[in-house]
Amino acid sequence: MVRQELKKLVIYSFFLAIIITPMVGFKNADFDAVRVLQTLAVLIGILVLNLIVKLVRSKRPQRAPGYKAWTERARERIELIPKLYTLGGLILITAVFPVFADNYMIDVAITCLIYITLGLGLNIVVGLCGLLDLGYIAFYAVGAYTYSLLNLKLGLSFWAALPIGVVLGMTCGCIIGYPTLKMRGDYLAIVTLGFGEIIRLVLNNWDSLTAGPNGLFGMQRAALYYPTIQEGGLNWAIYNIKSLPSLYYFIYVIVILTIIGVRRLDNSRIGRAWVAIREDETAAELSGVPTTWIKLLAYALGAGFASVAGAFFAAKLSYTNPNFFLFMESCIVLCIVVLGGVGSIPGIVVAGIVLIAAPEIFRGLESYRMLAFGAIMTIMMILKPEGLIPAKRLKRELVETQANE
Amino acid sequence: MDTSSFILQQIVNAIFLGSIYALIALGYTMVYGIIELINFAHGELFTAGAFIGVIVLTGLQSFGFVESHFVISMFIVFGLAMAYVAVLGVAVEHVAYKPLRDSSRLAALLSALGMSIFLSNGMMLSQGVSDRAYPPVFGVEGINIGGAIITNGQIFIVLLAVAMMIALQLFVHRTRLGKAMRATAQNRTMARMLGIDIDQTIRITFMIGPALGAAAGVMVGLHYGAVRFDMGFIFMIKAFAAAILGGIGSIPGAMIGGLIIGGIEVFWAAFLPSAWKDVTTFTVLILVLYLKPSGLLGESESEVRV
Amino acid sequence: MNKPPLLQLKDVHTFYDNIHALKGISLSAPQGAIVCLIGANGAGKSTTLMTICGVEPSRQGEIIFDGQPIHGLRPEQITSRGIAQSPEGRQIFPRMSVFENLEMGAFLRKDKEGIQNDMDWVFNLFPVLKDRIGQLGGTLSGGEQQMLAIGRALMARPKLLLLDEPSLGLAPKMVEKIFETIIEINQKSGTTIFLVEQNAQMALSISSLGFVMETGRIVISDKASALLENERVKKAYLGE
C-alpha cells in the first residue's frame, strides 16, 4: 500500500509541476523559478502531509467496535450539559462581547453576523429544499437598495422601509423561483446565477435611479424611539443606531430572530415538506406535497432574510454600490452553508464565524481567502458532504439506515 | 459607412464572436453529454488557455520567431495552450468530479463550483489582478466586402474555429474513441458491458472539451489583446447560453447556439444601449431554459434521461 | 458430462445498497448448452445477469468462467473474457445507427475481417436489420430493437451469451422467430446461451437445463424437460 501511495504521490507531483510551472513561473516574460519552487513546495508539501496522515491512520490498530473519534466524544460531552446552559452561556458571552472588544473586533463581528444571517437564509433554499441558488446575493442587494432609495427619495425611515424591502425581496425571490420550478439542479444553478447578474447589472446601469457604479450614499441610520419626559410632557426621543456596539446589538437581535424563525420553519410541516422535496421531489409530489408552492415559499423566505440583512447593511454603512453584490459574494455565502453543513443552524453559525473572522486574523494570507474557499467547497463535498456539524435531521436519517441493515 | 455595409459589418462581427462562443459551448456540451453535469470550471479552463497562449506567444516573439515563422508559431501557441488545458481538465475531473460520480447532483455541482473558484483565484494570484496584454500579431489590414472590413485576424480565427469543429465532428463520428464517447453518453451501463472503459472515456472528454475552450481563450486574447483572470465568468455564461439554446448535448446545436448568441450580442450593441447587452444575453438564457429547455437541436428531456 | 461447466456461480450474494438481492445463488451452465433461468418479476433474474457481467458486483461468493474466477473484475474485463449480454430493456444506443450499434458490440475486437463476417451473419439472422442499417436505434420498433440487442451481443463473438427477456413485449409471431434464432445461434456457432425468461414454457422447451428463482434464491434446478413436468413449476409458471 505504501508503494502504491508513493507512486500516486509522484504522479500527482509530476502533474502539479506541469500545471504550476508555466502559470506561476511566467508572470512576466522572465521565468521566475523561485516562485515556482515555492508554490510547488507548498502544494507537494500538502500532498505529503496528506499521505503521512493516511499512512498513520492505516497503521493504527483496528478500532474496537463502538469506538468514537474525539470529535464525536467532544460532541457527546457537550450534549451532556443541559442545553439551556450551553445556549445561555453562548448568549451571555456574545451579549457582553462588545464591552470587552475593541472597535475593529466589533466590526468584524458585525460582518460575521451579517453573513450568518445570509447563510441561514440561503440554508432554507439550498440546505432544506435542496435547490442550488447561485444568485442569492441579489436579494441582499434588493434589501440594501430598497432601503437606500426609499430613504433618499421618499424620506422613509428604516422601519417603514424594512417591510417594503422584505416584501420586494420576497417578490423577487418568487419571480426568480417561478421559472425554475421544473428545472433540474444544474440548470437552476445557472438561471439563478443569471438572475443575480441581471439584478446587479440593472443596479449598475440604471444611472438615473441608482447612480450606477458610484452607488448611493447619505442614507439615515436606523433609529430607535423611546419615550422621555421632557419639558413637562411625554415625548419621543430618537436614538440613532450608529455606534459600532449598537450596530452589533442590532444585527445580533436580527440573527437571533432569524435563528428562531428558521428553527420553527424547519420543525414545521413546511420544513418537512422542504426536506421531502430535497430527498425525492417526485415522491414528495405524489404524497401530496404542493411542491410548487413549497418551493416558491423557500425562495421567498430565503430572499426575505437576505433583504433584512441588506437593509441593515445599507443603514450601517450609509452607502451602497453594485460591486458589493458580485457573484463571489454568493459563493462566500454558499461556502458558509456547505462548510457548516447543509440544513444545520449551529453549523452555519460556526462556519460563518470561521470563514469571515479567520481571514481577518490571518491578515497576511488575505489574498488566499477565495482560493481557500474554493478548495474548502470541493474538499468538503468529497470528504464530508454533510458539513462540519451535520444537521440533526440528516444524522437521524443516517442512524436509521444503519439500523435497517 | 452606409447602413447596408454597417449591417454587413455587424454580421461579420457576429460570425466572429459566435464562432468563439461555439467553441466554448462545445466544451460544455461534450462534458454535459457524457456525465450530465455542467462543468462549472469550464470558464476558468478557457481563461487558463488564454494565459498559456500569451505566455508562449510572448516567449516566441522575444526571439523573433513569430515574424519569421508565423504559421508554425500559431501552431505552437494553440497546441501548447490546448495541451496544457487538457491536462488541467483531466486534473479537474480527477479531483472534483470522479470522487463524486455516484453522489447527488448538488454535491457534484458544489464541488465543481469550488474548483472554479479555486482556479480563478489561483490564476489571479499567479498572473495578477490586472490585464495581461497579448502582443499584437495581426495588423488592422483585412479584406473589404461591400464596405464591411474583415481583418486577417478575424479570418484566421474563424477558419481555425470552423476547422476545429469539423475535426471534432469527424472525431466523434468516425473514430473508435469518438464512438465510445457517444455510446457512453447515451447509455453508460450498456457501454461498460460492451467493454468500453468509462473512466478513460470521461477523461478524454475532459481533455477535448476544455482544450477547445482553451483554443477559444487564445482567440479571444489574440483579438481583444488582453487576458484577465476573471474573464472566464462572462464567457462562461454566454457560452452556456449558446449550448442550451442549441440543445445541450448536441454538437451542431452548440455551433448554431453560439452564432445566435453572438448575433444577439453584436446587434444589440450596435443598435441599442450597449451597457445592457449582457442583460439581454442572460435574459435569453433564462427564457430558453424556461420555455424550451431542450434547445433547438437537443433531445427532449425525457429522451436524455433514458 | 466430464467437461467442466463454462460458467459456474457458487453461493453468490449481491446487494443494492442495503437490499439483499441475491441470497446465495449457485448454478452452472455446461459448455455449448442453452440454460434458462425462470421466475417471477423481482425474483432477481436480471440481477443475476448483471452480477455475472460485473455491473452489479457480488459481495460474496465465486463466479467461475472458463476455468477462471471473474468475480471482482470490472465489466469491461469480463466482456473481454467472452461474455456478452442482451440486457433487459434492450438498451439500444438511441442516437446511433443500427450499423454503429452493431459496431459497438465488437468494440473490443480488432479482427476487421471477422467483424465483417459476423456482421453479415447477424444480417443473415435478422434480415430486417440490414434494411434499417442507417436508421437510428431509437427509431426502431420493439421487435427490431430486440433483434439489434441480440445482434449487438453476438458481434462480440462471445463464448457465453446472456439474454434477458428476449420475448418481452413482442407479438407472438415475433417471439417464435426470436426463439428459433436463439436455437440457430446455439447450433451454428456453438455459443453457450444463458436465457432469462418469463415465458417459461418457451424457454424450457428450448433449454437443456433450467433454474427456478424466487426472491433472490434458486429454489429448483433440474433438466428442463423435468421442470416442464414438475408440478410446482407447472402451477406457478406454466399456468396449468
Asked if B55's CB is within 8 angstroms of A331's CB, the reply is no
Query: What's the CA gap between B148 and B11, in Å, rounded?
Result: 9
| Residue A353 CA, distance from chain mean position | 10
Helix (H, G, I), strand (E, B) or coil at B116: helix
Domain boundary among A23, A41, A61: A61
B97 or A28: which carries more pLDDT confidence?
Answer: B97
B275: chain A residues, CB-CB within 8 Å? 201, 204-205
For position A176, what pLDDT does the model report?
Answer: 84
Residues A115, A56 share a domain: no
pLDDT tens-place string over residues A178-200: 887 777 777 888 888 989 999 99
Assigned fold of C1-82+159-166+191-240: Rossmann fold (3.40.50)
- In SS3 terms, chain C reads as CCCCCCEEEEEEEEEECCEEEEEEEEEEECCCCEEEEEECCCCCHHHHHHHHHCCCCCCEEEEEECCEECCCCCHHHHHHHCEEEECCCCCCCCCCEHHHHHHHHCCCCCCHHHHHHHHHHHHHHCHHHHHCCCCEHHHCCHHHHHHHHHHHHHCCCCCEEEEECCCCCCCHHHHHHHHHHHHHHHHHHCCEEEEEECCHHHHHHHCCEEEEEECCEEEEEEEHHHHHHCHHHHHHHCCC
- B299–C93 CB contact, under 8 Å: no
* CB-based contact A23 B48, cutoff 8 Å: yes
Q: Structural domain tally of chain A?
A: 2
> Over 50: is that where the pLDDT of A318 sits?
yes
The verdict on A32 and A176 lying in the same domain is no
C19-61 residue pLDDT tens: 889 999 999 999 999 999 998 888 899 999 999 999 999 999 9
Residues of B in contact with C75 (CB under 8 A): 192-193, 195
**Subunit partners of chain A (3 or more CB pairs within 8 A):** B, C
Of chain A, the percentage scoring pLDDT greater than 70 comes to: 93
For residues A6 and A149, state if they share a domain. no
Q: Amino acid identity, residue B94?
A: H
Check whether A400 has a pLDDT greater than 60.
Answer: no
Domain edges within chain C: 1-82+159-166+191-240
Each of the 240 residues of chain C gets a pLDDT tens digit; together they read 457 889 999 999 999 878 889 999 999 999 999 999 998 888 899 999 999 999 999 999 999 999 999 988 999 999 999 999 999 888 999 989 999 999 999 999 999 999 999 999 999 999 999 999 999 999 999 889 999 999 999 999 999 999 999 988 788 888 888 899 999 999 988 899 999 988 888 899 999 999 999 989 999 999 999 998 888 888 888 776
Record: contact B286-A377, CB cut-off 8 A = no
Letter for the amino acid at B90?
Answer: V
Which residue of A14, A47, A190 is the best one to mutate when testing the B interface, meaning the one whose CB has the most B CBs within 10 A? A190
pLDDT score of A237: 78
Do residues A315 and A246 share a domain?
A: yes
Closest Cα in chain B to A334: B110
Q: How far is Cα C196 from Cα A323, in angstroms, rounded to an integer? A: 64
Per-residue model confidence as pLDDT tens digits over A108-123: 999 999 999 999 999 9
CATH of the domain at A342: 1.10.3470
Domain coverage including residue A38? 2-61
Which pLDDT tens digit goes with each residue over B285-295?
A: 888 888 877 77
Closest CA to A168 of A295, A319, A307, A314: A307
Q: What is the pLDDT of residue A146?
A: 94
Q: Is residue A90 part of a domain?
A: no
Q: What is the pLDDT of residue C150?
A: 93
Q: CA of C236: how far to CAs of B126, C38, C39, C91, C230, in Å?
A: 72, 11, 9, 29, 10
Q: Are A43 and A180 within one domain? A: no
**What CA–CA distance (Å, rounded) separates B227 from B118?**
18
- 3-state secondary structure at position B135: coil
Does residue A358 have a pLDDT over 60?
yes
Beta-carbon pairs below 8 A across chains B and C: 61
Task: Judge whether A99 lies within some domain.
Answer: no
Cβ-defined contact of B282 to A195 (cutoff 8 Å): yes
- Collapsed DSSP state (helix, strand, coil) of residue B148: strand
Residue A405 has pLDDT above 50, yes or no: no
> Which residues from B are below 8 Å from A376, CB to CB?
114
Helix axes A291-317, A244-266, angle to 10 degrees: 170
pLDDT of residue A132: 87
Clarify whether residues A46 and A187 are in a common domain. no
Q: Which of residues 152-211 of B touch C (CB under 8 A)?
A: 176, 179-180, 182-183, 186-187, 189-197
* Co-location of A31 and A154 in the same domain: no
Assess if residue A245 is contained within a domain.
Answer: yes
Q: By CA distance, what is B277's nearest residue in A?
A: A201
Residue A100, domain member (yes or no): no
In terms of Cα–Cα distance, which of B162, B203, B157, B208 is closest to B184?
A: B203
Cα radius of gyration rounded to whole Å, chain B = 19
**Residues A54 and A114 reside in one and the same domain:** no
Residues A23, A156, single domain; the answer is: no
Tell me the torsion sign for CA atoms B287, B289, B294, B295. Answer: positive
Question: Choosing among B76, B113, B131, which should be mutated to test the A contact, i.e. which has the most A CBs within 10 A?
Answer: B113
How high is the pLDDT of residue A68?
Answer: 65
Q: Chains meeting B at 3+ CB pairs closer than 8 A?
A: A, C
Contact (Cβ atoms closer than 8 angstroms) between residue C196 and residue C163: yes
Q: What is the DSSP letter of B36?
A: S
**Would A83 be classed as within a structural domain?**
no
Residue ranges and CATH numbers for the domains of chain B are 3-305 (1.10.3470)
> Which has the closest alpha carbon to C228: C196, C195, C198, C201?
C201
Put simply, the chain A residues between 372 and 401 with a CB less than 8 A from any chain C CB are 401
